[in-house]
Amino acid sequence: MTKIAQARRSGRIRRHRRVRKKIYGTATRPRLAVFRSNKHLSVQVINDDDGVTIAAASTTEADIRGAGSTASVDAATKIGQLVAERTKAAGVTQVVFDRGGFAYHGRIAAVASAARDAGLEF
3-state DSSP of 15-57? HHHHHHCCCCCCCCCCEEEEEECCCCEEEEEEECCCCEEEEEE
Give the domains, in start order, of the chain with CATH numbers. 3-118 (3.30.420.100)
pLDDT by position in tens, the chain (length 122): 899 999 999 999 999 999 999 999 999 999 999 999 999 999 999 999 999 999 999 999 998 888 888 999 999 999 999 999 999 999 999 999 999 999 999 999 999 999 999 999 99
Per-residue pLDDT, 1: 86
**Rounded-to-integer distance, Cα 122 and Cα 119, Å:** 10
- Please count the helices (runs of H) and the strands (runs of E) in the chain: 4, 4
* Bridge partner residues of 58 (DSSP): 42
Rg, C-alpha atoms of the chain: 14
Query: pTM higher than 0.85 for the full model?
Result: yes
Per-residue pLDDT, 66: 83
Per-residue pLDDT, 92: 96
